[in-house]
Amino acid sequence: MIGPYTVIVGPVRIGDGNWIGPHVSIGTPGEDRGGPHPAAWDTAPAGDPEQDGNGVVIGSRNRIREYVSVHQGTWRTTTVGSDGYFLRNSHIAHDCLVGDGVTIASNAVTGGHCHIWDGANLGMGAILHQKVVVGPGAMIGMGSAVRREIGAFTIAVGNPARVTGVNVVGLSRRGVDEETIEVLGPWLKGKAGLPDVALPGDLSTLVKAWDARPREEQ
């Protein structure tokens, strides 16, 4: 479903089963310029900072509520995964990578080039500085201003946002018991290496991917 008054500017690729509400804007340029844009949005070479045109890719089964905006990439394709929930007036900026199962609450805003990993949750009115990385399963409290990386399955609140604990609820919902959460605690807080613990298959893959992420994302 695509609601009334929604604007989609290519190149945009959208998967199946998405619910896109009214007055949504997808694929519009990340910025306005005094000079002319290319006649076709898909003509800009990849990684050319002088022209927009790297587009937007959105997965499947997302709920994108009214007045959400998603800007197309300048250096890379703005990418949104599947099974996400993007509430009223939230904004995904140019060149962002948003994983699967992400929730971005009303009026939450990302700067450009942010990477939001699978299962992360941005509370109402949260603000992400450019190039911020939010780890899988992390919870950002409402109204928080995030200026630095937030680790996997942690809770961060405040301005500037600071990690206040482990997202126990998020881990429990993924089938992790209390004893295992306690063992994972030091790693989640960045104080120790990843322990050798048994985790559900999909979570184990996600945790290992986060632990092995590129150095520039650490």
What is the side-by-side strand order in the sheet with 78-80? 12-14, 56-58, 78-80, 97-98, 115-116, 133-134
Contacts of 14 (CB under 8 A, 6+ apart): 8, 20, 26, 58
Give the pLDDT score at 47.
Answer: 47
Give the pLDDT score at 54.
Answer: 84
Give the pLDDT score at 35.
Answer: 56
What is the side-by-side strand order in the sheet with 19-20? 19-20, 63-64, 85-86, 103-104, 121-122, 139-140, 154-157, 162-166
Of the candidates 21, 53, 81, 94, the residue annotated as catalytic is 94
- What is the residue type of 138? A
CATH numbers and ranges of domains, the chain: 7-166 (2.160.10.10), 168-212 (no CATH)
Selection from 60, 64, 89, 73 nearest residue 28 by Cα? 73
Selection from 118, 92, 117 nearest residue 105 by Cα? 92
Give the pLDDT score at 39.
Answer: 53
The whole-angstrom separation of Cα 19 and Cα 151 is 30
pTM, two decimal places = 0.88
pLDDT at 33 over 50: yes
pLDDT in tens, 163-217: 999 999 999 999 999 999 999 999 998 889 999 888 988 899 999 999 999 865 5
In 10 A of CB 34, how many CB atoms?
4
94 is catalytic: yes
pLDDT in tens, 48-94: 444 446 899 999 999 999 999 999 998 899 999 999 999 999 999 99
Which two structure tokens, joined as six digits, stand for 6?
């929604």
pLDDT in tens, 89-147: 999 999 999 999 999 999 999 999 999 999 999 999 999 999 999 999 999 999 999 99
Of the candidates 21, 99, 111, 112, the residue annotated as catalytic is 112
Of the candidates 53, 59, 73, 95, the residue annotated as catalytic is 95
